[in-house]
Amino acid sequence: MKGLYKAIVPVARQLEQSEHIGSCRREIQSCCWLTQALCWHWRSMSAIITAFSYCSYYNKDIIFCVLKACLGLLLPSRRKDLRGEVVLITGGGRGIGRHLGKEFAKHGAKKLILWGRTERCLMETCEEISLTTGAECHYFLCDVANREEVYKQAKVVREKVGDVTILVNNAAVVHGKSLMASDDDALMKTQHINTLGQFWTTKAFLPRMLELCHGHVVCINSILSLSSIPGAIDYCTSKASSLAFMESLTLGLLDCPGVGCTTVLPFHTNTDMFQGMRVRFPQLFPPLNPELVALRTVDAVRTNTPFIYLPWTMHALVILKSFLPQAALEEIQRFSGCYTCMDTFKGRT
């Protein structure tokens, strides 16, 4: 492979820069980019395999974890019982949050607590959950962007309902405009709700989970945290920050028995928040149903799965971004319609 790399790359670079390749210039350039990427990818993979082998030789736990993960794909995972759990869901009045409340209640959660900014939505969802599942459900008005309000309402929840054992950070907003067309206050609002809100809620409830050696922190993120699109710069930035927060938190809790984390990264979900967003091939990439996202999220909590991508084909995006050059990724995004999918965005009305 090393000899192949030395032979192909100079030719690929000459073709890429040539002025005599006519109407096929874009196609040939794409092949050149892919050839160079594969060669570089092979060299990188060789280094990774060597490093992995070296580490595995001195730390047998790495091999054990890999084998355990492989077996987990073939054998059914043990699922924990959610009866007795006290679940708090931010943004619980509508969208994915509404269905999360129903799903947790269906699996026997002892108490449900919904946080949000619109009382009518919270009250309707709370009543629906209580009537259809018989679960005890409470709601509180709380803007997670307001740190003092979060800490205040967290204290009220502990006094009136009890200790929260599962925290679901679901609240999010999207402005849906380019950077230069965005209002400064709207940009700040997105960051405060989507990112900083998780800091305040987690700081409010995680200490008690650690004391009890029992708890779970869930983040409803987005695949846009890994692959940004134009027209949603506020949302993509906040979700990328949120993903980094959860990655760090997940690693930080490795030595804390009984307390886990789950981060959900769904593709475009059919809710009012992204109303009007259109992809080029809806048959190939259909929007997810919020019921499915809720179902898979609760299942991930029960199996203590740290990260899940919805649908599973989103794993391909992570793999492609690891070795394809930026120019090739841009061509894929243009072809799939990612560059224009927010042109028809309306958002929640």
Catalytic residues, which ones?
235
Provide the pairing of β-strand 111-116 with 136-141.
parallel
Residue 321: φ, ψ to 5° = -65, -15
Distances (CA, A) of 211 to 142, 163, 165, 215, 281: 25, 11, 11, 10, 49
Q: How far apart are CA 310 and CA 299, in angstroms?
A: 13
Q: How far apart are CA 121 and CA 127, in angstroms?
A: 10
Given a contact cutoff of 8 angstroms between Cβ atoms, the answer to whether 170 and 113 are in contact is no
Given a contact cutoff of 8 angstroms between Cβ atoms, the answer to whether 168 and 216 are in contact is no
Alpha helices in 164-229 (DSSP H): 184-191, 197-212
Distances (CA, A) of 221 to 74, 146, 268, 310: 27, 20, 11, 11
Q: In what order do the strands lie in the sheet with 307-310?
A: 136-141, 111-116, 86-90, 166-169, 215-220, 259-266, 307-310
What angle, 0 to 180 degrees and rounded to 10, lies between the N-to-C axes of helices 95-106 and 290-302?
Answer: 50
Residue 324: φ, ψ to 5° = -75, 140
Given a contact cutoff of 8 angstroms between Cβ atoms, the answer to whether 273 and 347 are in contact is yes
